A = this chain, B = another copy of it.
Amino acid sequence: MSPCPDTLAPSEAAVSHGAAPCVIVDTGHERYDIRIGRGLLDDPASWSGLPRAAQAVIVTNTTIAPLWAARLHAALAGIYARVTTVELPDGEEHKDWPALNQIFDHLLRGGCDRKTVLFALGGGVVGDMAGFAAGCYMRGVPFVQVPTTLLAQVDSSVGGKTAINHALGKNMIGLFYQPARVICDLATLDTLPQRELVAGLAEVIKYGPIADAVFLGWIEEHLDALLARDAGALAHAVRRSCEIKAEVVGQDEREGGLRAILNFGHTFGHAIEAGMGYGAWLHGEAVGCGMRMATDLSARLGLVPAATVDRMHRLLERAGLPVRAPALGAARYLELMGRDKKAEAGQVRFVVLEALGRAVVRAAPDELIAGVVEDAARV
């Protein structure tokens, strides 16, 4: 029996069936489930009820392939007549057209038709690229997210944002294209390097200040367990993060308003990533540092007290995330943020906190931003 019955009412946004808690994403146009649990890769129920096709293609990278591709291949071989794998180079610096075209080459050389199902097995880069490829191949084929990093499980695999980078900006070329399902096998986190686990925690932490002060308190209490990869703690963190993301994306698929709050810390973070050269900082690290800066900006705008900045600072520091920003200079930060996708008519907009648990999007004067940037380089 499927752990996520199709008859589930939209209001029951999250249900738990023992081993495989399930979160529903419903954008109005599309509806799919996120299944969370240990060992889901090997569970036939994970793959039942997906679109039928002659071929399935696993899109992964050279790091993840030796660890997990054989398991997924074995699971899919019972369902699709032909299962093949395309291995992309690993790393944010390969989130570009040549690597995307590797997927198209593989699909066309293999005679894949427009029913072919793609499976994105890997972290955020693989998910973004496989999703974008699925959205464009023959004008759209189905795809399934199988995230193997904490960051991808709690954030990038959910909500349908796909993209590649352009030399002039991160994630500038992409689509909103929803997966048919998301399978978060918590066992895949066993092979995740600690630095990446910590980077993923940045996105988990994010959901607290923007949407759920109670969850923020829970993270503070269970941070040591999360860092030690306690199975129960990770399961709760992934599930609650996915619930919040599903709720937000369900209300605003295309980032017309509410969805922008998910970018808390990202405007500063993207500037750090771009300014340091993609790959120098992990995305989650940059977001962690960016969240401290965005909280500081919130305080400078008079929205939250200085104590809130301290609380976020302490939590991020305890998690092992960077809190000191690179000293690029305020002018360079402002220049880099001017290309942010949330910018409109040259005006940069920031996600800031009105309180812990509530975020809004605001413009801010350059002087305040300069103050944030300069202080963050000295903390």
Number of interface residues of A (CB under 8 A): 37
Kindly report how many copies of this chain are found in the complex they form together: 2
Which of A39-47, A111-119, A278-286 has 4 or more CB atoms under 8 Å from chain B? A111-119
Q: How far is the CB of A259 from chain B (nearest CB, A)?
A: 11
* A140 and B344 in contact, given A97-B97, A111-B339, A339-B108 (Cβ under 8 angstroms): no
Point out the residues of chain B lying under 8 angstroms from A338, CB to CB: 111
Q: How far is the CB of A214 from chain B (nearest CB, A)?
A: 32
A114 CA to B97 CA, complexed, in Å = 21
Q: How far is the CB of A159 from chain B (nearest CB, A)?
A: 11
Q: Is A29 an interface residue (CB 8 A)?
A: yes
A55 CA to B168 CA, complexed, in Å = 18
A101 touches B97 (CB 8 A): yes
The proximity string for A residues 326-352 relative to B, scoring 1 for CB distances below 8 Å and 0 otherwise, is 000000000000110101111000000
A161 CA to B254 CA, complexed, in Å = 21
13 other A-B residue contacts (CB within 8 Å) besides A54-B344, A138-B172: A29-B29, A104-B173, A105-B168, A108-B172, A111-B346, A113-B344, A115-B345, A136-B173, A136-B174, A137-B172, A138-B174, A140-B175, A140-B254
Residues of A at the B interface (CB closer than 8 Å) are 29, 54, 97, 101, 104-105, 108-109, 111, 113-115, 135-140, 161, 163, 166, 168-169, 172-176, 254-255, 338-339, 341, 343-346
17 A-B interface contacts by CB (under 8 A): A105-B168, A108-B168, A108-B339, A111-B338, A113-B344, A113-B345, A113-B346, A115-B344, A115-B345, A136-B136, A137-B173, A138-B174, A138-B341, A139-B161, A139-B175, A139-B176, A140-B176
